[in-house]
Structure 1
Amino acid sequence: MTAAQSTRTRQTPLWIAGLAGLTALAYWAFLGWDRQKETDPVTGAETGPYQAWQLIGLGVVLALLVFEAGRRGRPWLAGVVVPVVLTVAFSLDAATSPDGDGLWVIGAVLVLLGSALGTGVVAGLGAALGRRTR
């Protein structure tokens, strides 16, 4: 094992903690505080609780985080940690919602699959750019 590989291995727990912490922070900053559903007065249909800007903001922040992790040579780590933490945060939030209808498990599966696909693509792009600039 070279010195660079040894340093890289020692830094892995820091990367895991950083990616997990920043993902959880981004989730709670954009989505975790909002539980208010909107009811259309004409149709009575409920929407929400999230607005488009919240989802876009979370997506942009996580994309930047994952891209940078990929660029710095950690695409697999980002591709695992971010979807898992995002799914756990969503699951905790949805399962404890007072207006929950019990369908949060389906939402959690969709969050896991969608975020795994998205992080895989973005981390791969970051890794490709990182290799190209080295």
Structure 2
Amino acid sequence: MRTLPDPQKAKPCVLVVDDDEAVAWAIAGRLGQDFRVVGLTDPAAAVRRACEEKPGVILCDIHMPGLQGDEVAFALSQEPRTARIPLIYLTALVTPEEVADLDGVFGDYPTVSKSASTQELRDLVSAALGLPDDC
């Protein structure tokens, strides 16, 4: 008898890079029905982990000890295997209503507030993955 594929592996992967493990758990709870969420608390390991997991999108905190979000984004952009993975900055710096104030501040990457609604987060991740609106 053949082994059935793991249904979790069939879901698009979202890699969450945040020094606060609770953030990754919270995002996994909010997105886990539709996506396979992998959390990473060591920003220095982001490139290696992205190469291993092959995520469809990366959510990256802006302010972290060691490496800041822009340094993680730069490192990912320099590795051919991760350079094309969409990156979305994740921040507690602003409310969902203030996110537009950050447009262009951290390069061309979109930004989402950690306090954004689950639907807003899901929509942004789906758009980055190129999924239809009804996913």
Q: Same fold per TM (> 0.5)?
A: no
Structure with the bigger percentage of strand: 2
Larger RCO, structures 1/2 (Cα 8 Å, 6+ apart): 1
Report the TM-score, using the length of structure 2 for normalisation.
0.30
Structure with the bigger percentage of helix: 1
Report the TM-score, using the length of structure 1 for normalisation.
0.30
